[in-house]
Amino acid sequence: MTGYVITYFPLRGRAEPIRLLLGDQGALWTEEEVQIPDWFAGKCDLKKQTAFGQLPRFKDGNFELYQSNSILRYLARKYDIAGTNNQESALIDMVNDGVEDLRLKYGRLVMFEFETGKEKYINDLPNHLGAFEKILSQNSNGTKFVVGDKISYADYNLLDILHAHIHLFPKCLSSFPLLSAYIARIESRPKLSEYLKSEGRKNRPIVPKK
């Protein structure tokens, strides 16, 4: 069997950085949607077949992979966007781990403690976003990618978590000019911009609707 398949809930969620990467690299993929109520009602045999009882699942032909960050790194190596030397790869991994830390906090907020935790989250957010602004500034004064001279898998993950935050807090980047320009620059890449305008992308909520 050939072709990529993403199996996930009808959400952007943890599958979206993978979609951004594939879209920007000009790859085609098929979506296999699992309905959230079916999954939690135990109606999906798939849960038992997954490596950790969770989605997303990614298939490349007969090769099956779980863990969204491992999927990103698998594709990054395949498309040669995992760094051009060991130190660059390490920095890309570092940024991606930073995105993962923020994604975990974001997930906790939106899924479990929005009402009670929103204020503290907004107060802390500049510290998290400031870290990415600083890292960006250290690479070509923030005029290129988060690391190196070409896009890497961490750029897709960073773009996605920034999108998620802007959706929740539209002004959160107002004091981060480099990140703001970075988003516009990455979004304007022709293939990525095509994907961002696609119906599939527009119709997918970022997180489950309550």
Closer CB to ligand GTS, 15 or 178, in the complex: 15
Compute CA distances 145 → 65, 83, 134, 173, whole Å: 27, 12, 12, 17
68 binds ligand GTS (CB under 6 A): yes
Q: Select the residue whose beta carbon is closest to ligand GTS and give its number.
A: 54
How far is residue 172's CA from residue 155's CA, in Å, rounded to a whole number?
19
User: Which span (54-62, 115-123, 134-142, 186-194) binds ligand GTS, by CB under 6 A?
Assistant: 54-62
Helix (H) or strand (E) holding 177: helix 177-187
Closer CB to ligand GTS, 106 or 176, in the complex: 106
Residue type, 56: P
Closer CB to ligand GTS, 34 or 181, in the complex: 34
204 binds ligand GTS (CB under 6 A): no
152 binds ligand GTS (CB under 6 A): no
How far is residue 173's CA from residue 97's CA, in Å, rounded to a whole number?
21
Q: Which of 54, 138, 143, 198 binds ligand GTS (CB under 6 A)?
A: 54
**Nearest distance from residue 67's CB to ligand GTS, in Å?**
5
Closer CB to ligand GTS, 6 or 186, in the complex: 6
Q: Are the CB atoms for 66 and 51 separated by under 8 Å?
A: yes
Helix (H) or strand (E) holding 8: strand 4-8
How far is residue 93's CA from residue 71's CA, in Å, rounded to a whole number?
13
35 binds ligand GTS (CB under 6 A): no
Site residues for ligand GTS per CB under 6 A = 13-14, 53-56, 67-69
